[in-house]
Structure 1
Amino acid sequence: MEDAGSYPNPDNPSHKIVDVAAGESHTLLLTEDGSVYCWGRGMFGRLGNGSQKDELFPKKLNFGNPNGTQDSVKIVGIAAGSYHTLALAEDGSVWCWGYNIYGQLGLCEEEDSHDSLVPCLLSRFLELQPHNSSTDPSEAEDKASLEMCTVKAGGMMSLAIDNRGTLWMWGNIPQESKESGISLVSSFTPTPVWDFHGRTVVKVACGNEHVVALVNAIDSHEDEDLLCYSWGYNSHGQLGLGDRQSRLHPEVVKILDEESPWTIYEVACGAFHTALLAHKKKPDATLESMCWTFGLGENGQLGHGTTQSTLFPTPVKELPQSIHLISVDCGLFHTSVVSSTGDVWSWGMEKGLGLCPDANRAETNSGGDALSPLLISCNLHQPIFPGPVKVACGAAHTVVVAQEGHKVWSWGRGRSGVLGNGKEMDSYTPTIVPWPPTIEGLEEEELNSSDGQDKVAEKKPEIIAETDEKLSTALNELKLLQTKLSIMEKYASILHGSIFGKPFNEQDIPVSLGNSGSMDIAKEWENMLEAADDRKLVTMEMFYRDMLTGVKDKLMKRKIKEIIKECLESSEVIK
C-alpha cells in the first residue's frame, strides 16, 4: 500500500526530517532545509499557524515574514511543551508561540501574559548578561555574541543552552519559597542556572515539576564524560536521588556519577518519571547500551515489570542487551525507545500507548498497562522501522521518524488530528503520516496562496478516501492470502496423514527446505525412510500399494478405452 501524498525525494532537503518533537496534543517536524511543520490540536495557538484550529496533516510554518511568501529564518532546533512550542534559529535566536500564562514564552510581563498564535522572536536574551556588568569592551563584545544552541520544553517550562554551556530557564520553574523551601513560580524572564557556572551543560530535559541535566565533569570537556544532575519536585522519586525530598538546587545522581562504569548520553522526562540512556565506559562485547528509569511507576512507565515507583535509576532489564539505543522519550505515563536497527519498544499506560483506559472501548482493544517493554511492529510484514532517526512521545501519542528521515509513523491518541494522518480517531498500531505534505497536483507556491489552500481542503477528503480504499484493498488481499494458506495447509495435512499416518506439523518440514527454500526430493525421501521405524514403513508400504493399484487400474481402464476407440474408428473406415 502506497502512502498518501507525493513520494519523498532523498536529494531534496525539504523532504528529509532531521528532528521531531511532541507536546500534549501536537507534533513538530524539522526538515534539513530549516523548515518546521506542525499538526494536532490548535488551542492556545500552539501550532503557530495564526489560529486555534486543529490541523489533521503536517502544515509548514512561516518565520520572520508576515506575508508568508518566503521564509527568512532557518530553524535548526525544535521543542514542545504541553501547550507551547519553541524553535531555535541558525543565528542562535529563539522563537516561541502558544500558551503563555506562566511566562513560558518569555515574551512579556505577568500583567500582559497573552498567548501567541504565531512564532515570535524572543529577543530578551540580547538584553540579559550572564556575567557581571563591566565597561570592558571585550565583555561587551562577549555579550553581543550570546547565542542559544539548544532549546527544550516540558510541561509549562522552557529551557535553552547557550554557546557558553549555560542553562537558561523560564516559565513555571522551581524557585525558592519561604513557606516550603521550593515552589513552582512563574518567570517571564529567562534566568541562568548559576549552579553549573564554569562547567558546560550538554543536554537537558524537564517534566511537569522537575529538571534533569547532563553536565560535563569538572576536569573534563569531553561529551563522553557526563554527569547527571536533577532538581525540582521529587514526590515520586523522579530525581533519582534515593528519597522523595524536593531539591531547589541541582544534585548529582550518584549511581551514575564519575565512579560508575556507565556514561549517560540521552535523557528524557515524563510527567513524574525520568529515563536515561547509558553505555559502558569500557567497551563490552555483549552489552551495547541500557535504558535506566526512575520515579512514578504506577502505570508501568518504568518498564520494570511492576507498578512500583523507584527512587534510584534502575535498568529496564527486559530490553535486549545486544542493541544500541539511539533515542528515548517519555509521555505523561509511557516511555518509548528506538534502537539503531529500527526496533521500537514502548511500555506504560494502556499497553504502552499512553492512552487513559476507556470503559466504553471494546474489551478486545483494551489490554491494561504494559509493565514491561512491548515491541512495536512497523506493519504486518515488517517489524522494524528501517533507517531510524528519533522517537517522540506526546501526552498519549508516539511518533517515530525513520527511513533516514523520509518517513513518519504515529500511533496512540488521535483526537484533534494528533496523529497527522487526516483522521481524529485513536490508533493502536503505527499509521503513516503523509510525507512530504505537498498535495499531488499542487506546487509549493500554490499551497501558500488562498486558491491553493482551497484546493488542499478539497483534496484532503480525496486523499483520505484513496488511502482508505488502498487499505481496504490490502486487507482484502491479505484475507485472500490467508484463505489460500489455510486451504494449502489443510491439503498438506491430509496428504501427509495419508502417507505417514499422522497429522502434519512444522517439525516435519525438511531442514534443507527451511534453510534454502529448495531440496533434493530423492535425498529427503531416503532420509525419511532411514529415520522411519518398522510401523511407519509398513504404513507407507500399504499406502504405496493402494496408490499403485489405483494408478494401474486407471491406466488399464484408459488403455482399454483407447483400444475400443481405435477399433470403432477402424470399423468406420472399413464401412
Structure 2
Amino acid sequence: MSTKRKKAPAKKVPAKRSKRKEESDVDSDISDASETENATQPDEVLIAGHGDALDELTQLPQELLKTLIKPAGQLLMFGLVNWDNTSNRTPKDAKIKMHPNLYVPHRFTDYKVRLAVSGCTSTHSVLITEEGKAMTFGRNKFGQLGLDHTETKEVPTVIPALENMNVIGAACGRNHTLLLTDTGTVYACGDNRSGQCGVGNLQPNVLTPTRINYRGPPIVKVGCGGEFSVILDIKGGLHSFGLPEYGQLGHNTDGKYFKTNTRLCFNFETSPKRVVLYIEKSKDGHVAPVDVTEIVDFSCGQNHTVAIDSKMRAFSWGFGGFGRLGHAEPRDELVPRLIKYFDIQSRGVRSVHCGSTYSLAVTDIGGLYMFGRTKRTGEANMYPKPIQDLTGWSINHVAVGNTSIILSADDSVIAWGAAPTYGELGIGEVTKSSTVPKEVTKLAGVKVLGLSMGFGHTLLIAQTDSPEQKAKLETFDVFEP
C-alpha cells in the first residue's frame, strides 16, 4: 500500500504544491480561493449538550479575570483602512468610498476600549469595550464580523448575539473570528471551509457567533492562524482545529490524502483536539518526548504556532519555511518541537508573537529575538537572533503584522517594517517604511495599554487617566469613515 502511495502523481503534484506553498505563504494576499475545499467530509457527532442554553456556565475565578481584563482607554488606528482593497487590489464595486491610508495615528471611535484585536492575515478587527461588549469592523465576506450578514462594516458594530455576555478575549484569522467570554466559553464565526470555526462541521459560512464543539476545562486564551485555530484551557492544555496542511495543528499529521490521482484533499479537524505530544530533536536527528505539564502562552502565525510552557521553554510547529520555527532548518514540524536555542539558563521565554513568516520572542531578562523573515526578499534568520537595536530597552507590548512590527518599550513606541507598508508603522508619509527599529515620534508621551496589528493596520489603546494624557490625545486627528 505504501508503494502505491509513493507512485501516485509524484511528479506532478509535489511540484505544484511547493509552488503554491511558497507563493501563498510569502505574499499573504488574503486570498478567498480555497484549494483545500472538501465539502464531502462528514459532520462530526456533536458533543452532548453542544450549544444547549441549559448548560451551566460559571465565571472564571476572579483572580484570573483580573489578569485577563485590562484597563480601558482611547483607541488609535493607523494604516490601511480600505478593508475590501487589501494588497492594492482594485475593488470590483467602483462605488465603494476609498479612504487614503492613515500614515500617522488617528483617534477612532468614542468608545472606551479595553481590548483591540486583529491578526497578521486579517483585514477585520474586534474591539472589546469597557463594559465587555464585543464590536467588530472591517472586511466581512465570510461573516467573520458575526453580524449575520456579509457586508463590510466601516465603523465598529456591536455583535447582537453576544450583547448580554462579558467578552474578555478574541482572535482574528484570515476570514474567521474567535470570541472568549468570562465563563471560559468560546464562540466562532466566519469562514469555516477548513473547519477553523470548530463547530463540528464544514458549513462554509458561520454568520453569527456559534459555540464551538468543546466541553473540556474552561478556556482562558484563543488564537487564530490563517485557516486554523488554537485554544488554551485553564489547566494548561492546548487544543487546535482547522486546516492541518503544514502540521500547524500539532497532531502529527498534515491531513493530506489523494481523492483522485490528481486531486489532493485534507482531513480537516472540525472540533478542538488536544495537542498531546511535545518533542525535542538532537543534532543527529534523534527524537525524544518532552514532559510538558502546562502551556502558559502561545501565538499563531499564518501557518505556524509557538507556545511557552510553565518552565519558560518554547516549542514551535507548523510551516517551517524561512526559519520561522527557530530550529535552524526550514522543514515543517507536525508536533510541537523544543526550540533548543532558548533551552538554557537566562534565555527562558516570557512571551511569543508570531507574524506571517516570522516569530518574535521576549526572554525573561528582556531580550528580543527574531527568527524567520520579515521582508519579502533577502535573507532569513534560520534560528533566533537578538535585535541589537533594542538591547537595554524594557519591552511592554509587542504587536506583529504581515511584515511589520510595532512595540512599546519604556516610554516610547518603536516600529519597523520593510516596504511595501500601508501606514501601519505610523511614522509619517515621507518615510513610510523602515528596515530598522524607528521611534514613532508622533506617539511620544502616549502611555500604551494595548497593541495589535492586522495585515496592514495597527490598533493602539492609549491611557486617558491624567489631564496631560487627554490633552495629548486631543492633538490627534479623528478618523471618520
What TM-score comes out, normalization by structure 2 length? 0.66
State the SS of the aligned residue for 1:194: coil
Counterparts of 1:293 and 1:372, CA distance in 2: 12
Of 129, 152, 177 in structure 2, the residue corresponding to residue 115 of structure 1 is 152
Larger relative helix fraction? 1
In the other structure, the counterpart of 2:79 is: 40
Query: Is 1:345 the equivalent of 2:369?
Result: yes
**Equivalent residue number for residue 293 of structure 1:** 316
Shift of 1:51: 6.5
Aligned to 1:409: 414
Aligned equivalents of 2:384 and 2:477: distance in 1?
Answer: 46
Q: 1:91 aligns with which of 131, 151, 167?
A: 131
Equivalenced residue count is: 352
Provide Cα deviations, 1:358-415, integer angstroms capped at 9, x if missing partner.
xxxxxxxx4x111101111235xxx2322x2122210111122221xx3211112352
Match of 1:309 among 332, 336, 353: 332
SS at match of 1:164: coil
Equivalent residue number for residue 53 of structure 1: 100
Q: What is the alpha-carbon distance in structure 2 between the residues aligned to residue 446 and residue 234 of structure 1? A: 47
Shift of the alpha carbon at 1:320? Answer: 6.0
Alignment counterpart, residue 78 of structure 1, candidates 90, 100, 116: 116
2:402 alignment partner in structure 1: 395
In structure 2, what residue type is equivalent to 1:416?
A: Y
Is the Cα contact below 8 Å between 2:413 and 2:444 reproduced in 1?
no
Against the structure 1 CA distance between its residues 315 and 169, is the aligned structure 2 distance closer, same or farther, given a 3 Å change threshold? Answer: same
2:307 to 247, 255, 276: 276
**Structure-2 separation of matches of 1:297 and 1:241:** 16
Larger relative contact order, structure 1 or 2 (CA cutoff 8 Å, min sep 6): 2
**Deviations 1:93-149, CA, capped at 9 Å, x for gaps:** 01111111111111232xxx22111212222224xxxxxxxxxxxxxxxxx5x3211
| 1:202 aligned residue | 220
When you count strand as a share of all residues, which structure comes out higher?
2
CA contact (8 A) 1:244 1:311 kept: yes
Does the C-alpha gap of structure 1 residues 393 and 163 become closer, same or farther in structure 2, counting only changes over 3 Å? same
Q: What amino acid maps onto 1:38 in structure 2?
A: M
- Looking at structure 1, the residues matched to 389 and 335 of structure 2 have their Cα atoms a distance apart, in angstroms, of 33
Shift of 1:325: 2.3
Of 374, 384, 387, the residue aligned with 1:373 is 384
* Map of 2:359 onto structure 1: 335
Task: State yes or no: 1:426 paired with 2:449.
Answer: no
Shift of 1:447: 4.0
> Does the aligned pair in 2 maintain the 1:45–1:97 contact within 8 Å?
no
Counterparts of 1:105 and 1:232 in 2: how far apart (Å)?
Answer: 19
C-alpha separation in 1, matches of 2:323 and 2:408: 25
Q: Provide the C-alpha distance between the structure 2 equivalents of 1:105 and 1:315, rounded to a whole number of angstroms.
A: 36
The CA distance in 2 between the partners of 1:399 and 1:448, in whole Å, is: 19
1:43 partner SS:
coil
Note the C-alpha offset of 1:156.
1.3
Alpha-carbon deviation of 1:61? 1.2
Q: 1:241 to 1:33 in 2, by over 3 A?
A: closer
> Matched residues in 2 for 1:449 and 1:42: separation?
15
Q: 1:89 to 1:51 in 2, by over 3 A?
A: farther
Please tell me the residue identity of whatever aligns with 2:131: D
Q: TM-score, length-normalised on structure 1?
A: 0.56
> % of aligned pairs identical?
24
| CA deviation after TM superposition for structure 1 residue 341, in Å | 2.8
- Distance verdict in 2 for CA 1:239–1:293, change over 3 Å: same
Provide the secondary structure at the position in 2 that maps to 1:299.
helix
Partner in structure 1 of residue 393 of structure 2: 385
Give, as a single letter, the amino acid of the residue that structure 1 aligns with 2:416: W
Instruction: Give the drift of 1:157.
Output: 1.4
Instruction: Name the CA distance, whole Å, in 2 between partners of 1:122 and 1:187.
Output: 14
Give how far 1:340 is off: 3.6
Q: Distance in 1 between matches of 2:473 and 2:309?
A: 45
Residue 355 in structure 1 maps to residue 366 in structure 2: no
Bigger radius of gyration among the two:
1
In the alignment, the residues of structure 2 paired with residue 435 and residue 337 of structure 1 have an alpha-carbon distance, to the nearest angstrom, of 26
Query: In structure 1, what is the Cα distance between the partners aligned to 2:299 and 2:203?
Result: 20
TM-align CA RMSD: 3.2
Cα distance in 1 between the residues matched to 2:220 and 2:438: 34
